[in-house]
Every structure is written in C-alpha cells, then in structure tokens.
Structure 1
Amino acid sequence: MKSVLVLEDGTYYPGLGFGAGGETIGEVVFNTSMTGYQEIITDPSYRGQIVTMTYPLIGNSGFNEEDSESDSAHVQGFIVKEICDHPNNWRCSIGGDEYFKMHNIIGLKGIDTRALVRHICSNGSMFGIISTECGNVDVLLDRLRDGMQKRRSLVMEVTAKEPVRIKGQGKRISLLDLGVKKTLTKLLRRYDCDIHILPASSTYEDVLACSPDGVIISGGPGDPRELGEQRLLLEKLMGEMPILGIGLGHQLLGLALGGTVFKLKYGHHGANLPVKDLTTGKCYITSQSHNYALDADMADGVEITRINVNDNTVEGFRHGKLSVTGVQYCPGPADHPQDSACVLEDFLKAL
C-alpha cells in the first residue's frame, strides 16, 4: 500500500506502508543502531516518537519473545529503507510485517532515509505524520498541526499502574518508574536486589514505605521540565538516601539540584554513542534515547563526571556532599557489550 511522511515544515517523503494502516503523528527522530531494533521499538523512551532507522535493512532476524524492553511496543511509527520479508534466526517467532500489524504500528519503507536524516540534522527534529489513507500534503499538514496541539503525559502513559516487587536477598531498591526498561531490572536481579518498582505518581511516603537502601530514577520519554511533581519528590528525597538517576531520571535529578535542561537539535538516539569518564579517562560506547540534555553550568557542589565525546554535552554528574549521581545513558544495555554497567555496580557497592 502507498504511504507518505509529511513533516511540519512541508517536506514530504512518499513510500510504501507496512504493518498497520491508518495515520500516526509523532516527533520524527533517527536511531543509528545497526542492531537491536526490537529493543528500540519496545523502549518506553520512544513513546510518542516516529523512529527512523539509519541502517538500511531492518528485520533480518525477525522478532522473538526474549528481546523486548517492555511488555508492549511504544514507537508512534517506524521508518526504514527496507524491511526484511523473510527473516532467518533460530529465535525468530514472528516476521516484521506481522509483528507491526499485531502491535498496531504504522510503518513506512522505501524512502531515502539518508535524505530524511540529513534534513533532520540540518533543521532539527520535528513532528511528522505518516498516512496510508491520504496523499494530499496540504490536508495532511492541517491534520498534523491539529495533532501537535494535543498534550500528552508520556511518562504517565508508560509508567507502572501499581507497585511491583521483584524479590531478592540483596540491597533493597525503590525504582521510580518513568519508563523503566527490562534491561535495568535484569541487571538489578543479577545483583540479587530486592526491587520495588513504583509508579511515577508515587509520593515521598510511598518511597519510604519500602525502607530502601537506595533509590533509582529510571529513564523515560519526554521533557523533564514537565515533571514538576516528580522533581519535588526528588528534592525531598535528596539527603535522605542515595539516589541514582538514569536517562530522564538523570535530567530530573539535575533540575532538582537547581540545574537547567535544553533541547538538543536532533537528540541522541543509538547504541554507539561515545561517552568519556572524566575521572578515569576511559571512554564507553553507550546506548541512549533522549532529546534533552542538562546544561553544563551546574549548581555549586555538583561535579560533571562524564561528557559526550561527539558534542561535549553532560552525560554524568555527582554531588560533592549528597549521595546523588546521574548518568544520561542506560547502564549495560542488551543490544551491545556491557562495558557501561559499572555505573550500576558502583552505586550498589556504595549502599
């Protein structure tokens, strides 16, 4: 079936649809990973976004029941140069087109993804609409502008609806779920942690009721400046117990410490982003999915510990007096070697 992507600046890319039919509106971003497409599609951080894969062939190993980062798909739409019609892998349980239909994801293939990515790099990320129902660009632009006016609470869409406990004999962790990935809980289980996953709406009393040794604030979708209640919660918790912020949680911790955030031109989305640890001089290859970053001008007492090698943005910090640490990337993601998992290990050892 014919399909088209129309961006908010009027640029359009005709192609072919796959997966579900219909229309979808979201912020168009690109991901530079060569592998890990199933993890990307099920990553809550991509809620509300249409993801473009820069690698030209996607889906050659199909989909399985083990590699998802959550229990559902979260991308608003999915754009590829080519989708593999005949996947081949011993773990493959379902093919690409069937998977996208099952999860009601609207896909677009057959466009020049290089041209789209260059356009986003030059002009910044922007909203777009994919449609298999209408080919009139002017009509789709009107629908897109109407859709962009609708406000969504992305974190509340992906957070746990009620507390969940994963029992363990090790350190007791309160995990505030802003869009937690299964990779994080798997890593905590590796250290036999007693994990209490709490909804994003949890209160100060809810956190303390778990009697945690430490608190972890997960990654998630959207703009941290819109999470006023969660920021106030962190302000109350700081000084009470050790806190580690990851991804969106890292940005939220920075705001709670008096910092500011800004929107990146086209974000950091991929499994191959280099981060330098300023305390050791080591460089890690990390997995990231965010459109916002902390400003380097942090509050007094806050030390920047990690920076992005590509653009020198803040990738990590720690407070000199409070036991508060943040990292922008996901420690030890599933789709590449676990060389960045030391962040979590160091936090747990310090409890």
Structure 2
Amino acid sequence: MTERYLILEDGSAYAGKAFGSLATTTGEIVANSTMNGYQEIISNQIYHNQIIVFTQSSIGNTGLDQNAYESILPSAKGVIVREYENLATDHFKRISLDKYLKQHKIPGIYDVDTREIRHHLQKRGNMKASIVDVADDHAFDQLHATVLTNQQVAQVATPKPFPNPDEGANVVVVDFGLKSGILRELSHRDCNVTVVPWNFSAAQILDLDPDGIVLSTGPGSPENLPKSVLDMITEVQSQAPLFAMGLGHELFALANGAKVSQLTVEHHGSNHPIREIITNEIFFSGQEQGYAVDPKSIDHAKLFITHIDLVNGTVQGLRHRDYPAFSVQFSPDGAPGPKDSVGLFDDFMEIMARRRDSNDDRY
C-alpha cells in the first residue's frame, strides 16, 4: 500500500496510506464531524480548495448514490479519513469512494488519527495543508509558497443561467456555489426555478419577473466578491421576497451594513444546536461555517437577529425589518444532516404566496 503524508503549514506531518488519486495537492484544511453523508460533503462546492478531515471513524462503507451528489464536479482538494472501506458495489450498483475520487483527481489518505488532527486545528486555527509523497523540506517550502485563490465563487458557480422548470412559483436562484439540496427542496414545492450566475445585475434578475429570489451557499469569504453583488442585493430585496443561506446570508448582512469576520476555527458538521429567538425553540442543523456576522455591527433599524448558535454564540439568522427578506447561516436543506429547519423553505413559499395575493405594492 502506498504511503503518503498530510503536512500542515505549522510544520506538522501525518503519515497514512493512499486511496483515490495519487495527485499532490494543497488547500485549506478543515475538519468535519458529520456522522453520515460523506458523499454530499465531498461534492459540496463550499469545500472548493479545501482538504476535508472526517472525524467519523469509518468512511466509504455505504457506496455512492447517484441521487445524493451536491454538485456534478466536486472541487475539494483532498479527503483524510481514519478507516476506509472500499465497497465497490451493492445491489444498487453504486461506485466506491476510491473510484469516485480517482475519477475527479482528488487524493485521499487513510489510517490517520483524524480526531487528533481536529484537536490540533482547534488549538492552532485555520491553515494550509498539502497531501504529498514525501514530507521533506521541499514539500514544506512548496506548501508555504502556495497562494490559494480568493476567486472561489467565480470558479464553481455557473457561468450561464439555466432552468429547473416546474409549474409553481417563479424563483430565481443566484448561484454562489449552489448545492443541489437547495434545488431539491424548491422542486419538492413545485417551484419554477431559474439559476443565474453570481454576477447577474439586479435588472437582469428582476427582468425574469421572480416571485422570490434565493441567494445560495458558496465557498470563500464574502468580502472577496465585488461591491456590485451587494448593490444587487440591496436592490432586489426591496422588489421581491428573498431567502439567503450560507455565503448568501453573509452577503445579505454586508449589503445591509453589517460586518463579517472569519472564524479562528471553521465549524463543519451536523446536529449543531440552533435557537430560534422568537419561539425559543432549539433545533439541530448542518453547518459549513467559516465566517460569521458581527452582532455588534448590525443596524437594528434594518435587521433583527432571528437565530443564534448555542455552541459559539454566532448569528445564525437575520430578517429585514422593512422587506420580506431573511437569511440563515446554516444549511436548511439538510443534505446531509438534520431536516429540522427545512420548514424555512415553506416560510419562503408562504411569503411569496402572500405577496402574489396582495394588492399592496410596497414591496
């Protein structure tokens, strides 16, 4: 079995055995504590340019399901696991994780103490890492010299609009790194969806006559996107109901005057406790969070906080005081993870229905 190494920019090195592609790669390293749904995680564009460390003890033991991909072309940089099960097929004829990673040129390492790596990241914070053949000085020099792109959204979002047709509400989804779970939930509600590129203007979006607008999840920092994106949000939120999530939530906050900062340690996992303020209800969500809205920066004349994270106290939901616009930091589609918050899509549907049925044109 081929031996390979995970090296971190702080000088740490972890030996393991190779699976997937044998490519050498560099990315930001993040730990994910989700107990299932590794296929959805690896194919989620939020992990563009990242090496994913799974703290679940065994990965690859279910095979991959064609209906569970969150994107067609995954863009994660690597996969690190404790134990790897090479289940090639079952009665559904699913491919193995090893074959899937080889198809997409993503390297993997197993037989590594992934929980120790996670504890290390919690102490040292976010950093770059590489998967290499030899953990020598040259490999570390290459790692330190590598500059990771800050154009993640442009690299993963659709360059052209495309439809996901149905006969219900006309919804425009702005793609910042869209995951398929969002489209599935809209399809379950018969929405007639048009997905548009992240750099579409407000005029181009409104020309599609949307009943509602969704700002999708996506990778990277919201501050790496141009001001034109914030201008678009400022305009469309006053013209149609808006639902934002993940990166979309952070952009919604910035567009309304709040500030966003990077977390010292990213939060990735499921069963994350969230409190809804108005009801005091606690539910569990999936998280892929690298940035958080600064609560002290929120203009309460424009926005109010709707949800709070019970682990780290971060802002998890916002709602506009004047417009039918709201956002959440977590993943309401639950792919993978709990479905506790999937009702937010129903709230969005209700807001769109009220607007269509109303003669009030204040929106």
Write the deviation string for residues 225-250 of structure 1: whole angstroms up to 9, x where unpaired.
11123122112223122211110000
Cα 1:92–1:272 change in 2 (3 A) is farther
Match of 1:179 in 2: 177
Q: Does the 8 A contact of 2:166 with 2:192 survive in 1?
A: yes
Count of residues in Structure 1 that have an aligned counterpart in Structure 2:
348
Q: Write the distance in 2 (CA, Å) between the matches of 1:321 and 1:224.
A: 23
What RMSD, in angstroms, separates the aligned Cα atoms of the two structures? 1.4
Match of 1:37 in 2: 38
Deviation at 1:322, TM superposition (A): 2.0
Superposed, 1:139-218 pairs within 5 Å as 139-147=138-146, 149-218=147-216
- Counterpart amino acid of 1:130? I
Write the deviation string for residues 114-143 of structure 1: whole angstroms up to 9, x where unpaired.
1111000111121101112x331x211211
Match of 2:225 in 1: 227
Q: Does the 8 A contact of 1:52 with 1:80 survive in 2?
A: yes
Match of 1:322 in 2: 323
Write the deviation string for residues 254-298 of structure 1: whole angstroms up to 9, x where unpaired.
000000011112112112211111111111211121200111121
1:300 equivalent to 2:300? Answer yes
Write the deviation string for residues 26-84 of structure 1: whole angstroms up to 9, x where unpaired.
11000011100000010011101100000110010011211111112221110001110
Q: Does the 8 A contact of 1:33 with 1:54 survive in 2?
A: yes
Cα 1:309–1:317 change in 2 (3 A) is same
Match of 1:124 in 2: 125
Deviation at 1:22, TM superposition (A): 2.2
Q: Does the 8 A contact of 1:59 with 1:87 survive in 2?
A: no
Deviation at 1:92, TM superposition (A): 4.6
Q: Does the 8 A contact of 2:271 with 2:338 survive in 1?
A: no
Superposed, 1:34-73 pairs within 5 Å as 34-73=35-74
Deviation at 1:90, TM superposition (A): 3.6
Q: Does the 8 A contact of 1:332 with 1:339 survive in 2?
A: no
Match of 1:345 in 2: 346
Q: Does the 8 A contact of 1:171 with 1:213 survive in 2?
A: yes
Q: Write the distance in 1 (CA, Å) between the matches of 2:292 and 2:252.
A: 12
Match of 1:242 in 2: 241
Match of 2:359 in 1: none
Q: Write the distance in 1 (CA, Å) between the matches of 2:5 and 2:159.
A: 35
Please identify runs of 4+ aligned residues in structure 1 that moved more than 4 A: none
Q: Does the 8 A contact of 1:277 with 1:305 survive in 2?
A: yes
Say which is worse superposed, 68-77 or 335-344, in terms of deviation.
335-344
Q: Which runs of 5+ in 1 are unaligned?
A: none
Secondary structure of 2:284's counterpart equals: strand
Secondary structure of 2:295's counterpart equals: coil
- Counterpart amino acid of 1:287? G
Q: Which runs of 5+ in 2 are unaligned?
A: 353-363
Deviation at 1:333, TM superposition (A): 1.5
TM-score after normalising by structure 1: 0.96
Cα 1:62–1:274 change in 2 (3 A) is same
1:280 equivalent to 2:279? Answer yes
Q: Does the 8 A contact of 2:13 with 2:135 survive in 1?
A: no
Match of 2:17 in 1: 16
Q: Write the distance in 2 (CA, Å) between the matches of 1:57 and 1:126.
A: 25
Match of 2:360 in 1: none
Q: Does the 8 A contact of 1:60 with 1:88 survive in 2?
A: no
Q: Does the 8 A contact of 2:19 with 2:107 survive in 1?
A: yes
Deviation at 1:89, TM superposition (A): 4.4
TM-score after normalising by structure 2: 0.93
Deviation at 1:91, TM superposition (A): 3.0
Q: Does the 8 A contact of 1:7 with 1:128 survive in 2?
A: yes
Q: Write the distance in 2 (CA, Å) between the matches of 1:191 and 1:157.
A: 29
Q: Write the distance in 2 (CA, Å) between the matches of 1:186 and 1:321.
A: 29
Q: Write the distance in 2 (CA, Å) between the matches of 1:126 and 1:44.
A: 19
Q: Does the 8 A contact of 2:237 with 2:325 survive in 1?
A: yes
Q: Does the 8 A contact of 1:308 with 1:315 survive in 2?
A: yes
Secondary structure of 2:238's counterpart equals: coil
Q: Write the distance in 1 (CA, Å) between the matches of 2:26 and 2:350.
A: 44
Q: Write the distance in 2 (CA, Å) between the matches of 1:152 and 1:17.
A: 29
Identity percentage of aligned residues: 32
Write the deviation string for residues 154-206 of structure 1: whole angstroms up to 9, x where unpaired.
00111112111112221111100001111111110111111010011211221
Q: Write the distance in 2 (CA, Å) between the matches of 1:150 and 1:49.
A: 10
Q: Write the distance in 2 (CA, Å) between the matches of 1:337 and 1:227.
A: 30
- Counterpart amino acid of 2:204? D
Match of 1:252 in 2: 251
